[in-house]
Amino acid sequence: MRQAGTPPLITIFGGTGFIGRYVCEALLKAGARLRVAGRDPRKAWFLQPLGSVGQVSAVGADLAKPPTIEHALDGADAVINLVGVFKGNLEALHVQGPGKLAAAAKKAGAKAFVHVSAIGVDAESESTYSETKARGEQAVKAAFPKTTIIRSSTVFGPEDDFTNRFAAMGGWPLLPVIAPKTRFQPVYVRDLARAIAMAALDPKAHGGKTYELAGPEAMTMLDLNARIMALSGQQPELVEVPDFVASVIAAFGFLPGAPLSRDQWLMLQKDNVPSGKHPGFKEFGIAPTPLGAVAPEWLGRYKKGGRFAPSAA
């Protein structure tokens, strides 16, 4: 049992990923002790400078090996699960693993369990990602009823594979846009990370709740591409790809180097915006950040001449 005055210990699975590094930063700034769990603890070394001496530790753990989970959760006040993939054994990583982790957290006496999911997940979806993510939510809530579910929109930030991917193609004379009418409401990674950290540190306020966290602007895929091109100082001609062409491309998504998988195409058939049925950032006292307010920090490098190039008049 943690002694009075001792900072809380948070165990985080997926802490070395894109979102994870910002969650770790937010927790460390709040004064928490952090235990980063993963198959290869060495991948967490880069987090050490973010905290003071002894504030960050790394431990080997595998969701498929219960004894390693128990070790990672020993003495933890809260547990965060950020694990999410688009390829591989989604049943194991999105459903079975989180369920075992939540059960182990309950057994270990953790006061909070935060599970990061995605906006729009549906247990009846044809998309394997969406369907397994939805059943993963059910599994963790069954094992740990006071779980906080964080459903996130598409996330943008300096290291993302979202705005950077589109900006990298901005040098082409023609830029094809798949699912041009699908709507998105992308969320800034630092805003999302702050909310996740707050949920872990304050289970009395956030335990047992489901949140949908998205940015302040909803836009179509076509509008989003146009915005990214403008922010990165590029002017390709945007070409809307007909749905029947995109579906054919997706049918060959199993091939190496394919630009679009069938599962991704299925997810693009549905808008990625909040349903309005669950609370959002307001409950955390966070005003979500617009894309244009921060994206020039990293998209500037795609400009001709780099980020130090003069802005257009």
Q: Is residue 309 over pLDDT 70? A: no
Per-residue model confidence (pLDDT) at position 310: 56
User: Mean pLDDT: which of 37-46, 256-265, 283-292 is highest?
Assistant: 283-292
Q: What is the DSSP letter of 308?
A: G
Per-residue model confidence (pLDDT) at position 238: 97
pLDDT range class, residue 187, cuts 50, 70, 90: very high
| pLDDT: which is higher, 45 or 155 | 155
Q: SS3 of 150, please?
A: strand
Region 103-129 average pLDDT: 96
Q: Is residue 61 over pLDDT 70? A: yes
Task: Locate the DSSP E strands across 148-293.
Answer: 148-152, 155-156, 174-177, 183-184, 187-188, 210-213, 219-220, 237-240
- Backbone φ and ψ of 163, nearest 5°: -65, -35
pLDDT range class, residue 86, cuts 50, 70, 90: confident
Per-residue model confidence (pLDDT) at position 50: 83
Region 75-102 average pLDDT: 94
Distance in angstroms (rounded) separating the CA atoms of residues 159 and 163: 9
Question: What predicted TM-score, i.e. pTM, was given to this entire model?
Answer: 0.93
pLDDT range class, residue 312, cuts 50, 70, 90: very low
Distance in angstroms (rounded) separating the CA atoms of residues 134 and 275: 15
Q: Is residue 200 over pLDDT 80? A: yes
Q: SS3 of 201, please?
A: helix
pLDDT range class, residue 17, cuts 50, 70, 90: very high
Distance in angstroms (rounded) separating the CA atoms of residues 131 and 243: 22
Among 79, 37, 27, residue whose Cα is nearest residue 190: 27
Q: Is residue 268 over pLDDT 60? A: yes
Per-residue model confidence (pLDDT) at position 256: 66
pLDDT tens-place string over residues 172-183:
999 999 999 999
pLDDT range class, residue 48, cuts 50, 70, 90: confident
Q: Is residue 154 over pLDDT 80? A: yes
Please give the mean pLDDT across all residues of the chain. 92
Angle among Cα 282, 284, 288 to the nearest 5 degrees reads 60
CB proximity list for 243: less than 8 A, separation 6 or greater: 179
pLDDT tens-place string over residues 219-228:
999 999 999 9
Burial of 132 (0-12, 13-18, 19+ CB in 10 A): buried
